[in-house]
Structure 1
Amino acid sequence: MTEAEAATGTAGDDQAAADWAGGHQERVRAAIGWSYLLTAGRFGSSVLVTFLLAKLLGPEEFGIVAMGTVLIMIVQTVLQQGLTAAIVQREGLTRDHVDTAFAVLAASGVLLTALTIAVAPLWAVVNREPGLAGVTIALSPMVLLQGLSIVPEALLRRDLQFRSVAIRTLLAAVLSGMLGLGLAIAGAGVWALVGQQVASAFISLVVLWLVCPWRPTGRPRFAALRELWSFSAHSANAGLGAMLSSRVDLIVTGLVFGPVATGIYRLAARLPDVVVDITVRSLQQVALPALSRLQNDRAAFAGHLARLQHLGAVVGLPVLGILAAVAGPLVRFLGPQWSGTELPLRLLCLFGAVNVYGVLLGPALQAIGQPGRLAALTWARGLIGAGVLAALGTLLGRAHPPAQAAGVAAAGVLLQLAINAVSLHVTVRRAAGASLRRFVLPTLPALVAAALAAAVPAGADRLGVGRLDPVLGLLLLGGAATLVAGGVLLVADRPLRRTVSARLRRIRASGAGLAYR
């Protein structure tokens, strides 16, 4: 080969690599857009349904269903066994891998559903709530439905096909919400919440199989299972730890304080959870497949992770600040049965703000093939949290349910701060080899915007806003907090300002082009 031919070949390879990188970035941007649409639609429908159901029902009904759902989530995490991450992350994925994973998960779903039904009466005894057994048994089909959903959903996520995932989730949220509201209006009580959750899982499964082109064809092969399990063993361990870490608050609250405190805590956690879902966990869904493609280039990996974190902070932290600002009128709107939920809601907004800095770290460790570190971190968070909350139960055992819920929320904030500090060091400094300043500093304008938005009620109360109709107070406080947060971001966040300016220039340019034609 001549030098000219070699140069031509190298240039061609470089151009092909550049074309692939450009195409990959475009697919990632499209996936992020659909991921946001996915959770935005779920946010709008599920929050509306949740608060309408809260107005029709009370804390005890919400608490009983939350206690039953915890057991279902534990079993679903065991069922998943880390195979989702293995399918998404593995570079050399074959049909044998996919068919084997589906066969194992379907069979395990049947067995674990039966086990859940058998354990339900014991779960009710442990929680000292007789009605919990029937609720848990009614929720148990969600385990099998999850087992049948894991593989097709993982394949769609692997290929960044979030449009299909968005369609599935939006339909399930809307249709199941309509069913739940209809049952609540008819006087079904706690069964309205149960019916909503089971219907959501069933509709999700049906739509998922309609939009996913893959169908199982082959027989399970043990060699393929061993190859998947080499990654999945650590990932499953991390998944169990993550579930314990994220649900230890509900588990311990139900065991120690009972259904009323659990219902108050669950409702107070609902909105901050959804805000984090729509802002940062939407990015989390894209982060694993996107970062996995960069696992051998640590500089590009660290840069992409920092950009994702900045985006998550910009869209997540100010919304949490606005939510904290409207906590008062929001709780008044729900009715007197939810009185006292304002403080837990504000504390859980703070918990969500802390959590914004931890959500992307798990996919980052999985993407670079270090799920063992993730497992250690999540198990530490879960076990320490269980001990702290159990001790808290002895201190607040005779307090009113809203105070009990607020205590659990405050403990969660402090614990999450400590765990996030360790997680940032392990993931950003040691695993990715990047500086913490590069990861954290770009998010400070969003943090300031959130804090100032949350402080808006302090000035508004002097003007008598707290005495207004709840809906009017919600609109006024929400509008003022939004203006404050948006103003701070546009002034202080230079990357955001550049992005907005570039988008406006493109809109003006396209408008001018249309006018010229």
Structure 2
Amino acid sequence: MTEPGLSSGMRWSGISVLGREATRTLFTIALARIIGPEDFGIVAQALVYIGIISLLVDQGFSSALIQRREVGPTMPGAVVTVNLAVGVALAAVTVLCAPLWASFMHTPELVLVLIAFAPSLLFRAATVTPRAMLIRTMDFRKIAVADIASALCGGVLGLIAALTGAGYWALVAQILTTDIVLVVVFVALGTAWRPNLKLRQLREIAGFAGRTFAAGILLNSVSRNIDNLLVGRFQGAEALAFYGLAYRLLLIPVQLGLTTVATVLFSAFSRLTDDLSALRTEVTRATRAIAILALPAMALIAASAPQLVAVVFGSQWKPAVPIVSVLAMAGALQAIYQSTTNPAMLSLGRDKLSLRYAWLTTLVTTVGIVAGLPHGPFGVAVGYTAATVVLVPVEWAIRAQLVGLTVRTEIATIGPAVHVAAWVAGSYLAVAALIPHHDLAALGCGVAVAVLAGIGVLRIAHRRFLGELTDMARRLAGRGAGTTEPDTQQPDEKPR
């Protein structure tokens, strides 16, 4: 993968995720203020189920299509056939299971909500292969168009419904419209693949796909939904609304990392498997760049949570404040490591290792969540974050095995980000202490001072990393690279 191709892919992938997430976040804020925590929580309970079962629409074949060096002309169509068949089956299962899920969550309204959501599983299945093939060819511009257009249409319709008094149905309308428009735009862009019945060729990728699928289920479905499931089941819809709002903020850097960086890096890393030194360099650079962006940003969210929630979402969402502050750390760490480690494992064909790590992540995360459950949503947040921290050394061990990165290198890679994050959070808290009882003023002034402090620390103490970020920004903007010195490998960074 050439540097211009990687930069272009990263740029358009970033535009896609930033545009989509910014649009969704803005409409989520508006809807949260209009419909309130109780209605918000009802849909959150339904989305726990949808979030878990949606992982089944992709049986791992999309990752196999991206990872393979060569893909036959009819293989994508065969994958489409499987995806659509599974989507139809899951929609039917959802209709049948709706009363059971409503009873499990002690929320009768969930029956009709889940029946309404059932078709979305088919729509999501229809987009799996087009997205995978666009990722394979690094054509992220079309993904950006589809993602932003669908998020915008869904948000507008949801907002209109909320303003007309639709309550939680406004959120249902938003999500369904987003899924439908995404399919329509992919078809309009000519990226859809015609289904076929040449399913025997899928045997070639079935092993890799199966293990990737299992790992994805554990990492992206079970470990990331068990907390929402338990909070919604044992503490109710309103408690889940507060936790879900905080979790939504956690997912912003994770989605930016996993969808923007990890998606591009998986495709790029798959072309570097014959050059371990180059792969190690790219893993280090990606980790450092994500850390220098994610850690200070989430430290600022954690510090500003009292004012941020009050100003943006309203006083009715105040119970979410401590949950936001705690989950911010988990969001930063997941964005940093899952965005780089998972692509490295899969690109090197280490799908068995990926599956073992997924099992470990699920186990540790579940233990942390269950331990915190008696203490309410805040306890669950603490348990989830503690589990994320515990898994960091495991990530380091995996990366050492894959590309030869040492603990010393890992610490040096994120050290500047931790330093900047401390100054950012400290600066904000100092300003907030000087402007008590004025949330809007404290938020505005505090954020401005924190950003200036972070830039100042970068310029004074970490000039090299600031230069590297500047060069990366130039490449992403298509303006060419600067003169930042390339990474130099230390003697102890050789592959093991």
TM-score (norm 1): 0.87
**In the alignment, which residue of structure 1 is the partner of 2:176?**
198
CA distance in 1: counterparts of 2:96 and 2:214, whole angstroms: 24
**In the alignment, which residue of structure 1 is the partner of 2:317?**
338
CA distance in 1: counterparts of 2:191 and 2:433, whole angstroms: 59
Question: Is the deviation greater in 361-370 or in 279-288?
Answer: 279-288
Q: Secondary structure at the match of 2:197?
A: coil
1:290 counterpart (268, 284, 293)? 268
Give the Å deviation of 1:504.
11
Q: How has the CA–CA distance of structure 1 residues 326 and 504 changed in structure 2, closer, same or farther, with 3 Å as cutoff?
A: closer
**In the alignment, which residue of structure 2 is the partner of 1:240?**
217
Question: Is the deviation greater in 140-149 or in 319-328?
Answer: 319-328
Give the Å deviation of 1:221.
2.0
CA distance in 1: counterparts of 2:25 and 2:457, whole angstroms: 27
Give the Å deviation of 1:110.
0.8
User: How many residues are matched?
Assistant: 475
Q: Secondary structure at the match of 1:467?
A: coil
1:466 counterpart (436, 455, 468)? 436
**In the alignment, which residue of structure 2 is the partner of 1:483?**
452
Question: Is the contact between residue 244 and residue 379 of structure 1 (CA under 8 Å) also seen in structure 2?
Answer: no
**Residues 23-62 of structure 1 deviation map (CA, whole Å, 9 limit, x = unaligned):** x221011111111111111232111111111111222222
**In the alignment, which residue of structure 2 is the partner of 1:230?**
207
Give the Å deviation of 1:166.
0.7
**In the alignment, which residue of structure 2 is the partner of 1:355?**
334
Q: How has the CA–CA distance of structure 1 residues 106 and 444 changed in structure 2, closer, same or farther, with 3 Å as cutoff?
A: same
**In the alignment, which residue of structure 2 is the partner of 1:207?**
185
**In the alignment, which residue of structure 2 is the partner of 1:422?**
394
Alignment of 1:344-423 (within 5 A): 344-359=323-338, 360-393=340-373, 395-396=374-375, 404-423=376-395
Which structure would you say has the larger Rg? Answer: 1
Question: Is the contact between residue 354 and residue 413 of structure 1 (CA under 8 Å) also seen in structure 2?
Answer: no
**Residues 130-188 of structure 1 deviation map (CA, whole Å, 9 limit, x = unaligned):** 11222122112111011111111100000111111111111111111111111111111
What letter is aligned with 2:443?
L
**In the alignment, which residue of structure 2 is the partner of 1:12?**
none
Q: How has the CA–CA distance of structure 1 residues 292 and 440 changed in structure 2, closer, same or farther, with 3 Å as cutoff?
A: farther
2:408 counterpart (430, 437, 450)? 437
What letter is aligned with 1:237?
A
What letter is aligned with 1:471?
L
**Residues 184-231 of structure 1 deviation map (CA, whole Å, 9 limit, x = unaligned):** 1111111111111111111111112222445326x3223212112121
Q: Secondary structure at the match of 1:358?
A: helix
User: Percent same amino acid at aligned positions?
Assistant: 28
Q: How has the CA–CA distance of structure 1 residues 503 and 193 changed in structure 2, closer, same or farther, with 3 Å as cutoff?
A: closer
Question: Is the contact between residue 62 and residue 129 of structure 2 (CA under 8 Å) also seen in structure 1?
Answer: yes
Question: Is the contact between residue 41 and residue 240 of structure 2 (CA under 8 Å) also seen in structure 1?
Answer: yes
CA distance in 2: counterparts of 1:434 and 1:133, whole angstroms: 50
Unaligned runs of 5+ in 1: 1-20, 397-403, 511-517
CA distance in 2: counterparts of 1:388 and 1:276, whole angstroms: 19
Superposition CA RMSD, Å: 2.2
CA distance in 2: counterparts of 1:99 and 1:277, whole angstroms: 28
What letter is aligned with 1:475?
G
Q: How has the CA–CA distance of structure 1 residues 214 and 457 changed in structure 2, closer, same or farther, with 3 Å as cutoff?
A: closer
Q: Secondary structure at the match of 2:17?
A: helix
What letter is aligned with 1:390?
V
Q: How has the CA–CA distance of structure 1 residues 424 and 209 changed in structure 2, closer, same or farther, with 3 Å as cutoff?
A: farther
CA distance in 2: counterparts of 1:160 and 1:250, whole angstroms: 34
What letter is aligned with 1:381?
T
**In the alignment, which residue of structure 2 is the partner of 1:10?**
none
CA distance in 1: counterparts of 2:105 and 2:401, whole angstroms: 41
What letter is aligned with 2:426?
A
CA distance in 1: counterparts of 2:418 and 2:97, whole angstroms: 44
What letter is aligned with 1:496?
F
Unaligned runs of 5+ in 2: 481-496
CA distance in 2: counterparts of 1:169 and 1:348, whole angstroms: 26
**In the alignment, which residue of structure 2 is the partner of 1:178?**
156
Q: How has the CA–CA distance of structure 1 residues 236 and 392 changed in structure 2, closer, same or farther, with 3 Å as cutoff?
A: same
CA distance in 1: counterparts of 2:287 and 2:9, whole angstroms: 16
